[in-house]
Amino acid sequence: MSELLNPAVSKKDQIIDAAVAEFQENGFAAANMDRVSARACVSKRTVYRYFESKEKLFQAIVVQLWERVSADMNVRYQKGKDVRSQLTLLAKAKGRVLTDPTVMATSRLVISEVLRSPELAGETQGKMELKSIFVDMLRDATDDGQLTVDNPEDAADEFLGLLKAKAFWPVVFGAPVVSEADMAQIIDSTVEMMMCRYAAN
């Protein structure tokens, strides 16, 4: 509760933090806006001033999670630099997200609720992956002559799939968040497989 009372945290963020805790504890269907307001230490009227419904509050959680993830994924291809190193930097950026307990706990919450009620995600669906960053990296590396990727969209799916197979989906289904050491091994293996498949030489 002390975190929610932090004066540096806006009322809106307090409400979102409280909603995450409420949804994690009770699930979306059983979540109660009265309990959200109590957890956030604000009035119910204040909650509804920011979020007109429980669905809008859930969507705000998805958007906040996307913003947090995207902040760690600011990696772009640099022409002429070693492609293996650049793929590794991109994989490490994704790895930092996948080893963040708060991000993973919220991701588990979002995915479990969206699977139950796909309409909850609304217009925010598809943002979480940030696949376009991987597509751009692979396309630019191909244009630079360092990779040979005929279909960057498919290759990006492969790249993400390799990272998430051991570090994301098991966690979503209840496994502990992977350690930094395990993530480093996953990254090395993923980059090696991508290089074996797509390196120009």
pLDDT at position 124: 52
Per DSSP, helices labelled H in the chain are 11-30, 33-40, 44-50, 54-71, 83-98, 101-116, 131-143, 152-167, 169-172, 180-198
Q: Is the pLDDT of residue 151 over 60?
A: yes
Domain ranges of the chain: 1-52, 61-198
Whether 138 contacts 144, CB under 8 Å: no
152-167 and 180-198 helices cross at what angle (nearest 10)?
150
Q: Is the pLDDT of residue 4 over 50?
A: no
The pTM score is: 0.80
Q: Is the pLDDT of residue 6 over 80?
A: no
| 33-71 burial: b if 16+ Cβ within 10 Å, else e | bebbbbbbebeeebbeebbeebeebbbbbbebbbeebee
Least confident residue range of 4-8, 35-39, 92-96, 111-115: 4-8
Q: For domain 1-52, give the CATH number.
A: 1.10.10.60
| Token reading at 15 | 């409400």
Q: What would the pLDDT profile of 58-117 be if each residue is shown by its tens digit? A: 888 888 888 888 887 889 999 999 999 999 999 999 999 999 998 898 888 888 877 777
pLDDT at position 59: 86
pLDDT at position 63: 85
Q: Is the pLDDT of residue 3 over 50?
A: no
Residues 69 and 58: their CA atoms lie apart, in Å, by: 17
Whether 12 contacts 50, CB under 8 Å: yes
Percent of the chain scored above 90 by pLDDT? Answer: 60
| Token reading at 85 | 């190193």
**Backbone phi, psi, residue 200, to 5°:** -65, -30
Mean pLDDT taken over the chain: 88
CATH H superfamily, domain 61-198: Tetracycline Repressor, domain 2 (1.10.357.10)
Q: Is the pLDDT of residue 125 over 80?
A: no
DSSP characters over 69-120: HHHT------TTS-HHHHHHHHHHHHHHHHT-HHHHHHHHHHHHHHHH-GGG
Between 123 and 186, where is the model more confident? 186
- Which one-letter DSSP state was computed for residue 122? G
